[in-house]
Amino acid sequence: MSKKITNTKTDKELIIEILLRLADDRLIHGHRLSEWTGHGPELEEDLALANVALDMIGHAAALYRYAAVIEGNPDEDYYAYFRDDIDFKNVAMVELPKGDFAYTITRQFLFSVYSYFLYEKLIETVENEQFNGMLQKHFKEIKYHLRHSREWVLRLGDGTKESHERIQNAFDEIWMYTGELFSMDETEHTAIEKNLFVDVSELKAPWLEFVKETLEEATLSLPDDDQYMFTGSRQGRHTEHLGHLLAQMQFLRRSYPDADWK
């Protein structure tokens, strides 16, 4: 049985959907990184992880704010606190539990390489000035996230026997969640026609090349790319982990909707 998928999204709905996809990736990843606060392997690394978490949550907040303006929604926090897991459009990779330090660094690295190539291409493509301005601002921070995580991949890979094993395991475990980064759906194809998004499938080759070079330098082996890949998160079909994350992240705001900082 085949069903013709037709995209009936208006231009407004389309840009909101694109903004939310980008923002959800960054909010959920930022939240996972924030779980390290107070638990970092060294004081300095604790600060570094918290900084990156803040950067990513900042990127998400800016994207949500713009989506809220377009939607005519007075409260951008709504997107973070009052949607359920099926409404979140982040890739599964970012919702996986933080694991050990090697696991967190591996995820950060794989996602940062992807973000680097994605933002580079988006900045060339997106005609909407406000959207493009945000991308340019965030791109600088993405370059730092990439540098920080890449340096750690090199040190853990080419470090002790234990650090090598741990980070190799992390790459092997996370790899099945990388396929989603480069898969395209109807929304994205339509967004490309409106110069609001880019063909992410084209980012796979430069991403793989960059990852491969880093892994070689780190004396690590590239996981088998021809393996089962997790899919569906962009359409709201998440792993079990997102629900637990949201329960913690949204609890206070939902239980005390009027709470404020005063």
What's the CA gap between 208 and 215, in Å, rounded? 10
The contact pattern for another protein, residues 68-107, with x = CB under 8 A and - = no contact, is ----------------------------------------
Q: What are the φ/ψ torsions at residue 232 (nearest 5 degrees)? A: 110, -15
3-class DSSP assignment, residue 227: coil
DSSP characters over 4-52: -------HHHHHHHHHHHHHHHHHHHHHHHHTTTTT-SSHHHHHHHHHH
147 binds another protein (CB under 8 A): yes
Q: Long-range contacts for 70-79 (Cβ within 8 Å, ≥24 apart)?
A: 70/12, 70/15, 70/16, 70/19, 71/12, 71/16, 77/253, 79/20, 79/23
Cβ distance to another protein smaller for residue 132 or 163: 163
Q: Does 43 bind another protein (CB under 8 A)?
A: yes
Could you tell me if 115 and 63 are in contact, meaning their C-beta atoms sit under 8 angstroms apart? Answer: no
Which of 3, 8, 44, 193 contacts another protein by CB under 8 A? 44
Q: Is 148 in the site for another protein (CB under 8 A)?
A: yes
Least distance to another protein from the beta carbon of 140, Å?
13
Encoded tokens for 231: 């899919």
In the bound state with another protein, the residue whose beta carbon lies nearer, of 42 and 124, is: 42
Nearer to another protein, 219 or 235 (CB): 219
Residue 45 CB, shortest distance to another protein, in Å, is 8
Choice between 81 and 144, CB closer to another protein: 144
Q: How far apart are CA 199 and CA 189, in angstroms?
A: 8
First-to-final CA distance of the chain: 57
Give the x-and-dash track for 150-169 against another protein (CB under 8 A): -x---x--------------
In whole angstroms, the minimum distance from the beta carbon of 46 to another protein comes to 9
| Cβ distance to another protein smaller for residue 154 or 242 | 154
Tokens 């973070």 locate to 80
Distances (CA, A) of 81 to 16, 68, 138, 199, 250: 17, 14, 23, 30, 5
In whole angstroms, how close is the CB of 124 to another protein at the nearest point? 28
User: For another protein, which residue of 4, 5, 8, 42 counts as binding (CB under 8 A)?
Assistant: 42
CB of 253 to another protein, least distance (A): 26
Judged by CB under 8 A, the chain residues 199 through 258 that form the site for another protein are: none
Residues forming contacts to another protein in the complex (CB under 8 A) are 42-45, 47-48, 51, 144, 147-148, 151, 155
